[in-house]
């Protein structure tokens, strides 16, 4: 993709602080970190979001996430961290090349999603389960 900032990171057209890379993925430091050390895992092949990820990248992405997370935990002596991915503009995605965020967390760092948690009433949990299960498509063997 010609105009994708993360493709430019992959091709080294723009500089980045690379933590790890292999044939399929690259892990870099986020330029505007939630906490210093905040890392991003990107597939080298362009894909817009999670649903666009080619199956052959699944393993590499999780493997790289674990390698980088362990390095963050050990180097920064972390007690906790978050892994997350924003998908879609309304979910906060700003770069449309799939990426996984890994950010350090610290005691009393005052970072929290402001959540207005709901409850299922009546038969709604069953209703939602039934509705969603109709669209579950297990992978072909």
Tell me which residues are annotated as active site: 99
Contact residues for Zn ion, defined by CB under 5 A:
1, 4, 6-7, 46, 97
Tell me which of ligand AMP, Zn ion, none is bound by residue 93, counting a contact when its beta carbon lies within the kind-specific cut-off of 5 to 8 angstroms: ligand AMP
32 binds ligand AMP (CB under 6 A): yes
Q: Output 15 or 139, the one with its CB closest to ligand AMP.
A: 15
Q: Do 81 and 103 meet the contact criterion of CB atoms below 8 Å apart? A: yes
Closest to 83 measured CA to CA, from 55, 57, 64, 60: 64
Closest to 30 measured CA to CA, from 9, 11, 50, 47: 9
Q: Do 78 and 105 meet the contact criterion of CB atoms below 8 Å apart? A: yes
30 binds ligand AMP (CB under 6 A): yes
Binding site for ligand AMP (CB under 6 A): 5, 14, 16, 28, 30-32, 40, 86, 92-95
């Amino acid at each position: 993709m010609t105009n994708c900032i993360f493709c430019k990171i992959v091709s080294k057209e723009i500089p980045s602080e690379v933590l790890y890379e292999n044939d399929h993925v690259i892990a870099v430091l986020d330029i505007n970190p939630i906490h210093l050390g905040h890392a991003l895992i990107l597939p080298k092949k362009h894909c817009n979001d999670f649903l666009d990820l080619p199956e052959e990248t699944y393993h590499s992405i999780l493997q790289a996430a674990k390698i980088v997370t362990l390095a963050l935990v050990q180097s920064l002596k972390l007690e906790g961290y978050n892994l997350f991915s924003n998908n879609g503009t309304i979910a906060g995605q700003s770069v449309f090349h799939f990426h996984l965020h890994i950010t350090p967390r610290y005691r009393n760092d005052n970072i929290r999603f402001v959540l207005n948690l709901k409850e299922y009433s009546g038969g709604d949990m069953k209703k939602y389960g039934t509705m969603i299960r109709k669209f579950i498509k297990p992978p072909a063997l």
